[in-house]
Structure 1
Amino acid sequence: MNKEKVLDKIKKCLALSKSANEHEAAQALKQAQALMEKYEVNAVDIALSEVSEQGADRRMAVKLAEWQWAVANMISEVFGCKCYQQGDAMVFYGLGNRAEIASYAFDVVYRQISAARREFLKTCRARKPSNRTYLADQFCNGWMMGAWGAVKEFEMSDDEKAVMADYKRKKHPHIAKAVVRDAKSSKLDGSAAMIKAIVKGHAAGKKVQLHHAMNGAEGVKQIGERK
């Protein structure tokens, strides 16, 4: 029996151990303990088995801008997950189905901010490509500030935070801090054009809506829903 099947059987026994039938509960708990001893499985192994990973569909650049990471971090906070970049994919991990919902939400929100960025560039008067990128990044930074104010963070319990920390230590001990692409413009830094871009982005970002209902497909359908 492989470890995945063992863990699944143990979890089923532990669920039955909460039965109102005292005899059934005792037998289930005894079986769970026997399996844990036989296959050298501990409580940490069982907790970590509840964590799943899901990569978002959108392909990303290897080096992301600060606003792109802000999207991933916001989605992680809203849906009670953590994230990391693997090649050109943004990967979310969390308890239960949170990673699956977060990866879907990331794609939805990223489409929204990308569309808003394209609309901003249509009206951007800067001609130099680097200046256009700089102002568009400032717009997106503002968009994310507005979005953060419009969504509600998912608060994990201390036990859940501990499981997530253990998972990171065990599964991804070498995840490095992200190095972001930094668009710069000495000419536009602090300028009226920069401030205007941030303000416009902030107003646009406040329109985003995310719902962290965690009940499967119905929760997924609510993501990005407008009232």
Structure 2
Amino acid sequence: MDKQAVLEKIKKCLALSKSANEHEAAQAMKQAQALMKKYEVDAVDIALSEVSEKGGDRKMAFKLAMWQWGVAKMVADIFGCESYKSRKTMMFYGLGNRAEIAAYAFDVVYRQISAARREFLKTCRARKPSNRTYLADQFCNGWMMGAWSVVKAFEMSDDEKAVMADYKGKKYPYMANAVVRDAKSPELDGSAAMIEAIVKGQAAGKKVQLHHAMNGAEGVKQIGERK
């Protein structure tokens, strides 16, 4: 029997150990303890088995701008997950089905901010490509500020935080820091155009709408932008 099958069997026994039938509960607990001893499984292993991972469908560039990382961070915080990038995929991990929900939500929110960025560029007066990228990034930074002002992070319990920390420590002990694409424009830094881009982004970001839907990806199909 592989470890995952063992863990599932132990969890099933532990669930039965909560039965109102005292004899059944005692037998289930005894079986769970025997399995844990036989296969050298401890409570931490059982807790970590509750963590799942899911990647978003969108293919990401190697270097991401701060706002792109910001979208992943915001979605992860809202749905009680952590995020990282594996090659071109933004990954989420969390307890239960949270990762699945977060991955779906990431794709939805990323489409929203990308569409808003394209609309901004249509009216952007800058002609130089580097300046346009800089202002569009500032717009997206503002969008994230606006979005954060209307959403709320999911509050994980101390036990959940401990499980997530143990999971990261065991599975990704050497995770490297992200490489960030930083668009610069000395001529526009601190300018009225930069401030205008941020303000427009904030206004657009406040239209985002997210729900704490924790019952599977079907529950987040309502995620969208308020009209």
* TM-score category (smaller protein): over 0.9
The CA RMSD over aligned residues, in Å, is 1.0
Matches within 5 A, 1:15-26: 15-26=15-26
Counterparts of 1:154 and 1:222, CA distance in 2: 18
- The aligned length equals 227
Which structure 1 residue ranges, 5 or more long, are not aligned? none
Matches within 5 A, 1:87-166: 87-166=87-166
How big is the shift at 1:76?
Answer: 0.5
Counterparts of 1:218 and 1:116, CA distance in 2: 25
Counterparts of 2:98 and 2:217, CA distance in 1: 12
Counterparts of 1:42 and 1:122, CA distance in 2: 57
CA deviation profile, 1:171-205 (whole Å, cap 9, x unmatched): 11111121211000000000000000000000000
Corresponding residue of 1:186? 186
How big is the shift at 1:216?
Answer: 2.1
- For the 8 Å contact 2:143–2:204, the answer to whether it is kept is yes
Q: Secondary structure at the match of 2:210?
A: coil
Amino acid at match of 1:74: M
Corresponding residue of 1:86? 86
Matched, 1:14 2:14: yes
Amino acid at match of 1:3: K
Which structure 2 residue ranges, 5 or more long, are not aligned? none
Counterparts of 2:108 and 2:174, CA distance in 1: 29
Q: Secondary structure at the match of 1:57?
A: strand
How big is the shift at 1:219?
Answer: 1.9
CA deviation profile, 1:73-118 (whole Å, cap 9, x unmatched): 0001000000101111100000000000000000000000000000
CA deviation profile, 1:48-71 (whole Å, cap 9, x unmatched): 000000010000001100000000
> Structure 1 160/127 Cα, relative in aligned 2: closer, same or farther at 3 Å?
same
Q: Secondary structure at the match of 1:56?
A: strand
Q: Secondary structure at the match of 1:215?
A: coil
- For the 8 Å contact 2:142–2:201, the answer to whether it is kept is yes
Q: Which runs of 4+ in 1 moved over 6 A?
A: none
Counterparts of 2:12 and 2:160, CA distance in 1: 20
Counterparts of 2:77 and 2:142, CA distance in 1: 18
Corresponding residue of 2:36? 36
How big is the shift at 1:217?
Answer: 4.3
Counterparts of 1:217 and 1:225, CA distance in 2: 17
Counterparts of 1:22 and 1:221, CA distance in 2: 43
Q: Secondary structure at the match of 2:180?
A: coil
- For the 8 Å contact 2:50–2:95, the answer to whether it is kept is yes
| Identity of matched residues, % | 83
Per the normalisation by structure 1, the TM-score is 0.98
How big is the shift at 1:225?
Answer: 5.9
Corresponding residue of 2:222? 222
> Structure 1 132/225 Cα, relative in aligned 2: closer, same or farther at 3 Å?
closer
Counterparts of 2:84 and 2:153, CA distance in 1: 19
Counterparts of 2:166 and 2:70, CA distance in 1: 24
Q: Secondary structure at the match of 1:110?
A: helix
Q: Secondary structure at the match of 1:152?
A: coil
